[in-house]
């Protein structure tokens, strides 16, 4: 078998079509092509062709997962779940997770820190709710604790801001309804009472 052409695709400039013995056989990303070390007129044995097919499979899954994590940071568990849903074979899944970790593209400690910072910027949220959300992403207690230890915002600070905002809505001028809402957001009864008492 001979690699007769390597052609850049028109619709996806970062992908290349590989022609073997004059026929299109597979495609690779630009990074996958560099890793494969393929060149035009290169002769391939059956074993080398099988290895190429494995590289193509890895390249395809790696491309999918890079798109997935480009939308927002993801926990390791989220990436693993995504790859399983995409029917990624188990040995390749482990290989990809290691590659992503080694390239610092998944890092639960950094993910937890980023999650806490972003949630604090977006809306007033209780520490308890942050813990719940990070647990749902399967972040380890150690990584979670590290992120929360760096967070200097207290629940009372958040409550004061939230109470001030909610008081502008007619239905939350009633203390009981406001307390029920705040408790549902994960704030402790003691903190709610104290903040409403100061209000």
**What is the per-residue DSSP string for the chain?**
-BEEEEEE-SS-TTEEEEEETTEEEEEEEHHHHHHHT--TT-B--HHHHHHHHHHHHHHHHHHHHHHHHHHS---HHHHHHHHHHTT--HHHHHHHHHHHHHTTS--HHHHHHHHHHHHHHHS---HHHHHHHHHHTT--HHHHHHHHHH----HHHHHHHHHHHHTTSGGGGSHHHHHHHHHHTT--HHHHHHHHHH-
> pLDDT tens-digit profile of 17-54?
999 999 999 999 988 999 888 989 999 999 999 999 99
Class assignment of domain 3-102? mainly alpha
141's tokens: 């207690």
| Span 133-155, average pLDDT | 93
Q: How far apart are CA 136 and CA 78, in angstroms?
A: 10
> pLDDT tens-digit profile of 92-132?
999 999 999 999 999 999 999 999 999 888 888 899 999 99
Strand-pair partners of 7: 17
35's tokens: 């890793």
| Span 157-176, average pLDDT | 86
86's tokens: 């995409």
For the ranges 5-19, 82-96, 133-147, 162-176, the lowest mean pLDDT is seen at 162-176
| Residue 5 pLDDT greater than 60, yes or no | yes
Residue 95 is predicted with a pLDDT of 93
Q: How far apart are CA 177 and CA 77, in angstroms?
A: 37
pTM for this structure? 0.78
Residue 81 is predicted with a pLDDT of 96
Output b/e per residue, 150-163; b: 16+ Cβ within 10 A: eeeeebbebbeebb
Q: Are 20 and 38 in contact (CB under 8 A)?
A: no
Residue 161 is predicted with a pLDDT of 87
What is the spatial order of strands in the sheet that 23-29 belongs to?
A: 3-8, 15-20, 23-29
Residue 163 sits at the vertex; the CA angle it makes with 161 and 166, to the nearest 5 degrees, is 110
- Domain edges within the chain: 3-102, 108-198
> pLDDT tens-digit profile of 68-100?
999 999 999 999 999 999 999 999 999 999 999
Residue 128 is predicted with a pLDDT of 92
């Amino acid at each position: 078998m001979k690699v007769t052409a390597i052609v850049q695709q028109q619709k996806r400039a970062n992908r290349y079509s590989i022609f073997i013995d004059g026929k299109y056989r597979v495609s690779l990303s630009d990074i996958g092509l560099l890793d494969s070390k393929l060149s035009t007129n290169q002769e391939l044995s059956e074993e080398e062709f099988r290895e190429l097919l494995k590289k193509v499979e890895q390249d395809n899954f790696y491309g999918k997962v890079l798109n997935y994590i480009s939308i927002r940071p993801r926990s390791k568990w989220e990436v693993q779940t995504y790859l399983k849903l995409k029917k990624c074979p188990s040995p390749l899944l482990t290989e990809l997770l290691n590659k992503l970790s080694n390239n610092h593209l998944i890092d639960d400690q950094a993910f937890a820190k980023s999650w806490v910072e972003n949630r604090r910027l977006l809306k007033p949220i209780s520490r308890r709710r942050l813990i719940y959300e990070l647990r749902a992403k399967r972040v380890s207690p150690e990584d979670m604790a590290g992120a929360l230890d760096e967070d200097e915002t207290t629940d009372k600070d958040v409550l004061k801001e939230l109470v001030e905002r909610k008081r502008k809505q007619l239905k939350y001028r009633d203390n009981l309804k406001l307390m029920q809402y705040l408790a549902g957001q994960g704030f402790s009864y003691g903190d709610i009472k104290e903040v409403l008492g100061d209000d």
